[in-house]
Amino acid sequence: MIPPREQTGRMLRMNVVCKRNKEAALAAAQGIIERYGPSLEIGLDEECAGRVGHGKAFELEHVADDTDLIVVLGGDGTLLSVARQVRGRDVPILAVNLGSLGFLTEISLEELPEMLARVFAGEYRTSNRAMLDVMVRREGEEIFALSLLNDAVIAKDALARIINIETYVDNDYLTTFRGDGLIVSTPTGSTGYSLAAGGPILYPSLDQIVLTPICPHMLTNRPIILSQEVIVRAKLVSPDEKVILTLDGQVGLPLDYMDEVMMRKSAFSVTLIKSETRGYFEVLRDKLKWGER
């Protein structure tokens, strides 16, 4: 909770991230500066600051440094890129949707002034979202590590043949998935690629992860829900195939034969400020068009 300014005895600090090349985001950021600049210390991401001529800028990797609040102006993709940079710091994120309805950015632009007033008064609700730690080992050495909010996808190149992914849960052999790939998602990510591949929807506060095969060669392979306390280990056992590990749909890493991808619940989490007018199930109904004929 962010206490009112008069209780802190110091200026509140706010960092704002805009979706790239989104004029509505730039206009909203300019409006925030004009409205709250005299009383708050406001930073903008480098690109946005340059576009609107604001003097206080930050690199995205420092979005959670020295701030009490992060405001994201864009869509789910913009929020995912911010979430990976928070790195466990307890800074609430107010995510404002400026495009098509998102699963994560549930606050509308029209709702923003009222939500900011609630935040400054300490009168708001939050949703804590678990993250996933992903690490890649090659010939026994760690070559890559990242914490993410949505999902990790091991998938073949467009021209590759069926790939084999030898999969373990903790030290127990699960199976070797044969198909186009494998998705490992958090509850937050269950409404993304995993859902499109036939995976279940998990309520975002649950403590599970989902393994969803992509176009499995064996029709009996089905998505599996696991405890977030386990370690999932996926080894690429297909030689001479082009395979990519994609994280949150935004970060990619080519995998080599016998590379191992380790995935487990992260010690980090992300705190999202909830809309006062639109709930999670309303977003599901609208986004998935439930009840329509």
Q: Quote the number of domains for the chain.
A: 2
Q: Distance between CA atoms of 164 and 179, rounded to whole angstroms?
A: 7
Domain span at residue 94 reads: 5-125+274-288
Same domain (yes/no): 103, 13: yes
pLDDT at residue 7, as a whole number: 39
Q: Look up residue 272 and give its amino acid.
A: L
CATH number at residue 213: 2.60.200.30
pLDDT at residue 143, as a whole number: 98
Is residue 293 a part of any domain in this protein? Answer: no
Given a contact cutoff of 8 angstroms between Cβ atoms, the answer to whether 155 and 243 are in contact is yes
Walking along the chain (293 residues) 10 residues at a time, the average pLDDT comes out as 42 88 92 91 95 93 95 94 93 89 83 92 92 97 97 90 95 96 97 96 94 93 95 96 96 97 96 89 87 78
Same domain (yes/no): 165, 119: no
Q: Which DSSP letter does residue 114 get?
A: H
CATH number at residue 20: 3.40.50.10330
Please state the pTM of the whole predicted model.
0.91
> Which residues carry out catalysis?
76
Same domain (yes/no): 108, 177: no
Same domain (yes/no): 106, 18: yes
Is residue 183 a part of any domain in this protein? Answer: yes
Nearest to 116 by CA among 59, 174, 69: 69
Same domain (yes/no): 75, 189: no
Is residue 198 a part of any domain in this protein? Answer: yes
Same domain (yes/no): 43, 93: yes
Same domain (yes/no): 255, 135: yes
Same domain (yes/no): 30, 105: yes
Same domain (yes/no): 143, 262: yes
pLDDT at residue 99, as a whole number: 72
The angle subtended at Cα 276 by Cα 275 and Cα 279, nearest 5°, is 65
Is residue 82 a part of any domain in this protein? Answer: yes
Is residue 236 a part of any domain in this protein? Answer: yes
Q: Where are the alpha helices (DSSP H) in 53-199?
A: 76-86, 112-121, 193-196
